[in-house]
Structure 1
Amino acid sequence: MREESILLVDDEKGILVMLELLLKKEGFNRLTTASTGNEALRMVGLTSFDLIVLDVMLPDIEGFQLCGEIRKHTLAPIIFVTARSGDLDKLMGLGIGGDDYITKPFNPLEVLARINAQLRRQRLDRSINVTKVQRFDYGYFVLNKTAAQLIVNGIEVPCTAKEYELLLFLCEHPNQVFTAIQLYEQVWGTALMGDEKTVVIHISKLRKKLESDAVNPKAIVNLRGIGYKFIPHKQVTHYEG
């Protein structure tokens, strides 16, 4: 039996029933469903969820707007499921705080694979006995692992869960080159359905938060045709104990 708690939000009853049956078959029993944005927001305020599957086209609140409200309560991964398949919609969904984006019609097994990927990443993070650096201090920005907090020029900067996890991974592996697919595998938990655009979008958003000139970045650099590398300019590490 799986212990993770999942919130499924969709105004199509058939999809909710299908996802419930699929997830229960896989051992997920802590499932909650909502068919409106307001209902979902109320549940998020009352319960802690490990993952949220969120439809974009809800009858009362657009899913993108709802995602922003949900992010005030939780950093749980949010997987958008929607019939809107345009690149602009995907960019908006990932930019507003979503962690993955699946278009309808979809293969139920794909949804299951992506849910498992997100939850697997969470389990790995929780299972690590943390003896690594707890605070990365580069002068102009500080990443506090204990508090899951990013400070840039003395000001706390909000991050989505995946932005934080991506930056943490890069800080833990300085001066190493990773392809977009490798980063997707490490942060999102799978390479089978890895999406390079997802990585590019998240790196772009991190650059805007970290760099004074995001067009000519100095911290997270792109080696054309090879991959990405994080170059620390100053580092004072802080360890546990």
Structure 2
Amino acid sequence: MKSSEAAILVVDDEREITGLITLYLQREGFTVHTSDNGEDALRIAETLIPDLILLDVSLGRTDGIEVCRTLRQGVCANVPILFLSCKSEDRDIVRGLSEGGDDYITKPFSPSQLVARVQAHIRRRRTRERVNEEQIVNINFPGLDIDFRSMEVRLEGELISLSAKEFELLCVLARQPNRVFPLEELYQRVWHSDSMGDTRTLMVHISNLRKKMEIDPSRPRWVQTVRGFGYRFCPDNNCEERSSIPN
């Protein structure tokens, strides 16, 4: 997996630390989003569903432990969460891990070691996802049925005709509903190569997929745009398109 395919959310109210972490992660090709408070972090995480979250324990009004508990009850239940903290006593580490954290990094830390741990957690998550995807033979949502073996898609019971690439694109998105996929990652997963910065082919296929699936392609219900970032598959009728995700 290339680092450029991974989105990291860094939550810390110390700007110097956030800046340092962002610098090192971006050098490795990660897409980095930041927040300095728990409320904003929850909003970004629930929209973006990042590949990993670096979460400071001490955040003021809503601390990191509380943020972690909330994330574990929603769409980020399986996203790796690495706590950052000045507290290094055993009881603090045990508390962080028992509340849903996957790792605990004490400050001050080595930026290169932090990046290595981030990469290790993402590799493990990607491996689990790949194994789970290979075991899925069909997906059923209200009004939509996808059969991976026969490559058939039925919308409200009616068979719709998709090209091979349109079907692959829908499968990648539908296997991880609500997750926002960057354009480059989608291109790599479906075309198995780098887009070299030209994602027009992907956008044309998204447009064609919407024409076949959506009642009103200009107001998509299934395949939605998160402007400035990418696309997501939304099985919930209450899903709304987001205009942007702040960095």
TM-score (ref. length: structure 1): 0.52
CA RMSD of aligned residues (A): 2.1
Larger Rg belongs to: 2
Corresponding letter in the other structure for 1:113: A
Corresponding letter in the other structure for 2:82: I
Task: Report how far residue 110 of structure 1 moved.
Answer: 1.3
- Cα separation, partners in 2 of 1:130 and 1:43, compared to 1, 3 Å: closer
- Residues paired across the two proteins, number: 133
Corresponding letter in the other structure for 2:116: A
Corresponding letter in the other structure for 1:62: D
Whole-Å separation in 1 of the counterparts to 2:40 and 2:26? 22
Whole-Å separation in 1 of the counterparts to 2:45 and 2:133? 29
Corresponding letter in the other structure for 1:43: I
Whole-Å separation in 1 of the counterparts to 2:14 and 2:132? 42
2:111 maps to: 108
1:52 equivalenced with 2:75 (yes/no)? no
- Cα separation, partners in 2 of 1:91 and 1:17, compared to 1, 3 Å: same
Whole-Å separation in 1 of the counterparts to 2:29 and 2:81? 20
- Cα separation, partners in 2 of 1:85 and 1:27, compared to 1, 3 Å: same
- Cα separation, partners in 2 of 1:48 and 1:131, compared to 1, 3 Å: closer
Whole-Å separation in 1 of the counterparts to 2:61 and 2:43? 13
Identity of aligned residues (%): 41
Task: Report how far residue 42 of structure 1 moved.
Answer: 1.3
1:68 maps to: 69
Instruction: Provide the secondary structure at the position in 2 that maps to 1:2.
Output: helix
Mapping of residues 49-198 of structure 1, within 5 Å: 49-73=50-74, 74=76, 75-128=78-131
Mapping of residues 16-27 of structure 1, within 5 Å: 16-27=18-29
Task: Report how far residue 129 of structure 1 moved.
Answer: 7.9
- Cα separation, partners in 2 of 1:32 and 1:130, compared to 1, 3 Å: closer
1:151 maps to: none
Corresponding letter in the other structure for 2:6: E
Corresponding letter in the other structure for 2:45: V
1:227 maps to: none
Whole-Å separation in 1 of the counterparts to 2:28 and 2:108? 21
Whole-Å separation in 2 of the counterparts to 1:131 and 1:80? 31
Whole-Å separation in 2 of the counterparts to 1:16 and 1:128? 33
1:222 maps to: none
Instruction: Provide the secondary structure at the position in 1 that maps to 2:60.
Output: coil
1:10-29 residue CA offsets vs partner (Å, 9 max, x unmatched) = 0000111111110111011x
- Cα separation, partners in 2 of 1:125 and 1:104, compared to 1, 3 Å: same
Task: Report how far residue 61 of structure 1 moved.
Answer: 1.1
Task: Report how far residue 102 of structure 1 moved.
Answer: 0.5
Task: Report how far residue 76 of structure 1 moved.
Answer: 0.1
1:10 equivalenced with 2:12 (yes/no)? yes
Corresponding letter in the other structure for 2:93: K
Instruction: Provide the secondary structure at the position in 2 that maps to 1:60.
Output: coil
1:145-203 residue CA offsets vs partner (Å, 9 max, x unmatched) = xxxxxxxxxxxxxxxxxxxxxxxxxxxxxxxxxxxxxxxxxxxxxxxxxxxxxxxxxxx
Corresponding letter in the other structure for 1:81: L
Structure 2: 5+ residue stretches without partners: 138-247
